[in-house]
Structure 1
Amino acid sequence: MTKKWSQSIVVMLLVAVLSACGSNNGNNAGKGNAGGGNAGGASGGATDTLEAWGETIKSQYGGQELNLAFASHPSTESFQKLTGDFEKLTGIKVKWEVMEETYLKNKQLLDYTGRTGTYDVLMVDGFWMSEYGAKKVVEPIDSYITDKTLTPDWFDYEDIVPAYRNGISKYDGKTYGIPTAGETRFIAYRKDLFEKYAKQPPVTMDEFLELAKFFNGKEDGLYGVTMRAQRGTHAASGLMTVMYNFGGGFLNQQTGDVTMTDPKTVQAMQFYVDLLKNAPKDVASYTHEEALSAFTTGKAAMWLDATALAKRILDPASSQVYDKVGFVPTPEGPEGKASALAGWNMSISALSKNKEAAWAFIVYMNSKQNAKAYVEGGGVPVRTSIYEDAELVAADPSYPVQLAALSDANVLVEKGIAWIPPHEKLGQILDRVGYYVSAAMFGEITVQEAAEKSQAELEDIVGK
């Protein structure tokens, strides 16, 4: 999920940090309430089936109109396909306003600060949630989730992957959104090459580096690994892919102190630089796109990047190695397991005059009842049941590994660490770290010097 902040530099940075969630271009539009009469688990009232719930909602909120502010995104397109069924079932009218991600946050905040109250339902990046929660832009929804009259059992909140529930939708212990799309990072590897040379995919960071060295140059035109590493934010993002597994970090997220010269951060930087010595010679110019291309054209034995890109690896139309690929989670490091985490939410605007109707929309669109239709319509999965669905796993064999990687991402969440450190000057932080990491990759300075220079500049940036 390539993401965007209010300032244009941060917009560009988040695009660099995480690629936008992918689409599977499904064709089951308009089937959101298929089989709706037999929802899992009765709520003991008038809403234990989808049809009964719809009748109740229509009697209470039918005729209300909801205004939505959403980003152009595969998940948005899939939700739009389900809108007609929702309107027919509930009598609630839905008006979509869809815009490029670059403008979405500014428009939402302008609506809030101007007290206009135009919107009822907001699409909110998980990276914005601390700001939105602190400023009270969005409504806390814990009471909605636990109220059986508002949230029937067939919604099944607990089925949402824990990393998403715990990591992208909360602020200060409160829930402000329902996860709608997300991603982590994992490794794709060439099964044919690993079998040919009797190698096993990496479980630890040491094994990852050893394998990259082994395959680098093993065959003509073959490199050990490919990753994003372009100077600036992409290099910082690439470093972050492995950094937390070493226990490192750019900042202490509790105190705000800069930690670039912490030995664990330096160790992670050295690993990243050493790893990329086994990448294509032009890796220092790679964003996620170039890194993906190097792997799908058969130039690299391994690739480490966003789970949302897996479908492109497995697509015969875009990948020369689609039938030769296996997947494993990000390898465990000296400090254990960790993995990236990013995603989108549906939230209720704090200024909405139709909050319960807005919640009804969120419940319907994001329910377990409609989850498969949503994914088949191009949406990005966030539910455990979807990742375990036999039919969907057959179509995308990376699903079980994505779920395992998301479990690793939740390890970081449970430590109270955000994968992308929350800071108002995040853009500057990642740009400068990525600049010096890249300089170390080119051999212009040592890794230790890169850490020291980053430390000094970040202390100036954050004022500590």
Structure 2
Amino acid sequence: MKNLWEEYLVKIKSHLKTTATSVAVILASQAALAAGVCTDDVRILAQPQAGLTTTEGFASEFEELAGVGFQIDYLNENDRRAKSRADASVIGKYNVYYVDEANLAQFASTGWIAPLLDHYPAEYDFEDFDSGRQTTATFDGKVWFAPITGGGDLMVYRTDVFEAAGVEPPKTLEELFEVVEKIHDPENGIYGYALRGQRGSGANVWRWMPYFRGFGGEWFNEDGTPAFNSEAAVKATETYLKLFEYSPPGTRTGSWDESTGAFNSGQVALIVESAPLGGMSLNPDNSNVSDKVAFGTPPAPLTGGGYAHGFAIGSKANETDAERDCAALWIAWATSKENELRRLEAGQSGELNRVSVFNSPEFAEAFGEELPAALEATAPFTRVNFWQNEKWPDLGNRWGIILEELITGQRTDINEALAELEAYAIELNSD
């Protein structure tokens, strides 16, 4: 598999070289359209992404296109969120903000960012983005950012373990439990499933929500009263806790790194996780089981956890339409098909978002045909599972603490735990 991966890199580099002339022609025509739009360098606040480092290597291309440069300031996720809130609400230093599904509602509802499609250049084809990512970038009926990373959920499994056990990929939760029980063999180093137990709205709660929403759960009623202290939430929590019986011990307080790391190391036979795991599991640099992996959709009735991070137009720093057009031009260029193909060449599979790239010969050369088919098949199941409200991080993180205590056995009463969360939500909404 290692040799095949190296052969692929040689082929894609050759392909990109042969397309350089056509890209130059496209850029020339776009530059003519961009003339006069940008007058000052574009300032961006972001969190570190390998794909952005790759994109910065082509800064001269944007300068040729727009007639200005750009500057990206990087902060880790928590610091980025805090600084972007402060800057977007009061200062307005940055033309472009890196936002994500967890803080989109706050930025959009307060007017800190502008609707993207009012200024996004049509030639960059926003409709080419995966439909699940488009959904996640939408709030109150409008699109607010272009994705740099994101996805829904995939079922990823070990073909060798399934064949040895004589089982088929599960299509329902009932079948999932049957399969997991048959393949679970910790004495021989194979765990049936892997989950996230670490507290946090983006950790254990993120993986719990597909069960909650799949069972029909809702966060709030139309009148604003909490609705999650429900039969659906109890059933989701019971199911989640039961599945932990088949998950490696380190995942009970672990996050994405522990659960996906357990799968890629060969400890786990089956996992339902965010889509970037697909490419990672096929790359022998990341995975010990790269030649034994297959994909499917999450077992019904699970929903796919739609998430996306991307770039939005800052309102305060871009007061005029021309300034917003310039910010949108940088966003469109940075997330363009050409830059995604460069990230693909660099092996940054978690930062690919366009259907045209998933369906490209380059993607098939790297990952075969099964992964893009699975990504397409899972898109209809992808939805925004969390509460789209600026107070979501507070509520989600509180449930994360309580859920971790249930997972680790510090709590045992699910109804009592949900009642406590409900009381917190009422207090939170009264502020």
Verify same fold: TM over 0.5.
yes
Match of 2:375 in 1: 402
Match of 2:5 in 1: none
Quick one: which of 132, 147, 163 aligns to 2:107?
132
Match of 1:66 in 2: 42
Quick one: which of 63, 69, 78 aligns to 1:93?
69
Match of 1:120 in 2: 95
Residue type matched to 2:165 in 1?
Answer: Y
- 1:51 equivalenced with 2:28 (yes/no): yes
CA distance in 2, matches of 1:91, 1:460: 51
Match of 1:103 in 2: 79
Gaps of 5+ in 2: 1-7
Does the CA-based 8 Å contact 2:155-2:272 persist in structure 1?
yes
Does the CA-based 8 Å contact 2:106-2:390 persist in structure 1?
no
Range 200-209 or range 312-321, more displaced: 312-321
CA distance in 2, matches of 1:73, 1:260: 35
1:360-380 Cα distance to aligned partner (Å, 9 max, x none): 222333334544234334371
For 2:304, what is the secondary structure of its paired residue? coil
Residue type matched to 2:73 in 1?
Answer: E
TM-score (norm 2): 0.84
Q: Structure 1 pair 178/436, CA: closer, same or farther in 2 (3 Å)?
A: closer
Quick one: which of 286, 311, 315 aligns to 1:346?
311
Match of 1:15 in 2: none
Does the CA-based 8 Å contact 1:137-1:349 persist in structure 2?
yes
- 1:445 equivalenced with 2:407 (yes/no): no
Residue type matched to 1:343 in 2?
Answer: A
1:55-114 Cα distance to aligned partner (Å, 9 max, x none): 3423x2465322222221123223212321121233222222233222223333333333
**Sequence identity of aligned pairs in percent?**
21
**TM-superposed deviation, 1:294:** 2.3
- 1:200 equivalenced with 2:168 (yes/no): yes
CA distance in 2, matches of 1:356, 1:214: 56
1:305-352 Cα distance to aligned partner (Å, 9 max, x none): 22223343233234322211112222111xxx5211111222222132
Does the CA-based 8 Å contact 2:190-2:266 persist in structure 1?
yes
Quick one: which of 335, 350, 353 aligns to 1:366?
335
Match of 1:287 in 2: 255
Residue type matched to 1:123 in 2?
Answer: Y
Q: Structure 1 pair 100/186, CA: closer, same or farther in 2 (3 Å)?
A: same
Does the CA-based 8 Å contact 1:259-1:265 persist in structure 2?
no
TM-score (norm 1): 0.78
CA distance in 2, matches of 1:288, 1:404: 23
Match of 1:142 in 2: 117
1:31-75 Cα distance to aligned partner (Å, 9 max, x none): 799456489xxxxxxxx94312213423x2465322222221123
CA distance in 1, matches of 2:414, 2:100: 33
Quick one: which of 258, 273, 293 aligns to 2:226?
258
Does the CA-based 8 Å contact 1:33-1:369 persist in structure 2?
no
Residue type matched to 1:87 in 2?
Answer: E
Q: Structure 1 pair 301/96, CA: closer, same or farther in 2 (3 Å)?
A: closer
Residue type matched to 2:385 in 1?
Answer: W
- 1:420 equivalenced with 2:389 (yes/no): no
CA distance in 1, matches of 2:249, 2:122: 54
Q: Structure 1 pair 278/135, CA: closer, same or farther in 2 (3 Å)?
A: same
Count of aligned pairs: 412
- 1:313-332, aligned counterparts within 5 Å? 313-332=281-300
Q: Structure 1 pair 231/356, CA: closer, same or farther in 2 (3 Å)?
A: closer
Match of 2:3 in 1: none
**TM-superposed deviation, 1:159:** 1.2
Residue type matched to 1:347 in 2?
Answer: A
For 1:275, what is the secondary structure of its paired residue? helix
Q: Structure 1 pair 358/425, CA: closer, same or farther in 2 (3 Å)?
A: closer
Does the CA-based 8 Å contact 2:154-2:295 persist in structure 1?
yes
Residue type matched to 2:388 in 1?
Answer: P
Gaps of 5+ in 1: 1-23, 40-47, 413-417
- 1:223 equivalenced with 2:157 (yes/no): no
CA distance in 1, matches of 2:414, 2:226: 17
Residue type matched to 2:156 in 1?
Answer: A
1:210-243 Cα distance to aligned partner (Å, 9 max, x none): 2112222386232211111235654323312432
Match of 1:18 in 2: none
For 1:272, what is the secondary structure of its paired residue? helix
Match of 1:415 in 2: none
Q: Structure 1 pair 63/462, CA: closer, same or farther in 2 (3 Å)?
A: closer
Residue type matched to 2:367 in 1?
Answer: D
Does the CA-based 8 Å contact 1:179-1:344 persist in structure 2?
yes
Does the CA-based 8 Å contact 1:393-1:400 persist in structure 2?
no
Residue type matched to 1:445 in 2?
Answer: T
